[in-house]
Amino acid sequence: MRIIALLVALFALPALMVLAAGHTEPATDLSGKAVAILITEGFHDGETIVPRDYLLERGAAVTVIGPETGTVTAYNSDVTVEIEKSVGEVSAAEFDALVIPGGRAPAALREIPEVVELVASFARKDKVIAAICHGPQVMITAGLLEGKQATGVGGIKDELLECGADFQDVPVIRDGNLITSRVPGDLPEFNRTIAEALIEVEPKAEDAPEKKPAHRHDGC
């Protein structure tokens, strides 16, 4: 069974990358844009690597962040990614956007107060926050989705509804600076929406005072 799982993973990731590359679109220059990708052990390989490479190919500076620096492994393959900076080493002011891939990682990330606070700080500074699959779970814990249109993998539909989100089963939703998506097959639209938001959105001035709301950590 282990061999079969490895073979599936080896074929699945290249297929996702071909799928994402096969969607033609106008060239988007993201030079000068800085994006953080938030993961930990158990991330989804395609939902991490495909957006990362998409952004890099268009000139964005991408930094992989997580609870601690070091090498982490995907839950669905033997793909590894290096976490370059810990959440304690970065701030929302350094980036234009935050991407939260799915997999098993979001369930762990949402339990770490420093991670949740960092995600919330991106919202307070009006930065783009994009999450796919189980990634919106971290947005929920940070208190970002109440009253917002959102989507995600079917397994978190009830959680999104319970926390006051307007759930819609569509490939991608952008509500202001918040972007959510469902599954790996939606990556082309997810990536394109991130790029569009990065071009359009003017972030809040960095010296503007932040109003820090209280956050619930019970999943709502």
Residues with Cβ within 8 Å of 134's Cβ and at least 6 positions away in sequence, in order, are 102, 103, 104, 105, 106, 107, 152, 153, 155, 156
Candidates 44, 134, 215, 217; catalytic one: 134
Domain-by-domain residue ranges, the chain? Answer: 2-23+30-200
User: What is the CATH number assigned to the segment(s) 2-23+30-200?
Assistant: 3.40.50.880
Give the residue among 156, 132, 160 at the shortest CA–CA distance from 146: 160
pLDDT in tens, 145-169: 999 999 999 999 999 999 999 999 9
Rounded (to 5) percent helix, strand, coil in the chain: 40, 20, 40
Residue 13: the pLDDT is 59
Residues in the chain, pLDDT under 70: 1-27, 202-220
Residue 12: the pLDDT is 56
105 contacts 67 by C-beta, under 8 angstroms:
no
- Active site annotation includes 44: no
Residue 203: the pLDDT is 58
pLDDT in tens, 93-118: 999 999 999 999 999 999 999 999 99
Give the residue among 219, 136, 145 at the shortest CA–CA distance from 181: 136
CA distance 165 to 151: 9
Residue 26: the pLDDT is 59
Residue 44: the pLDDT is 98
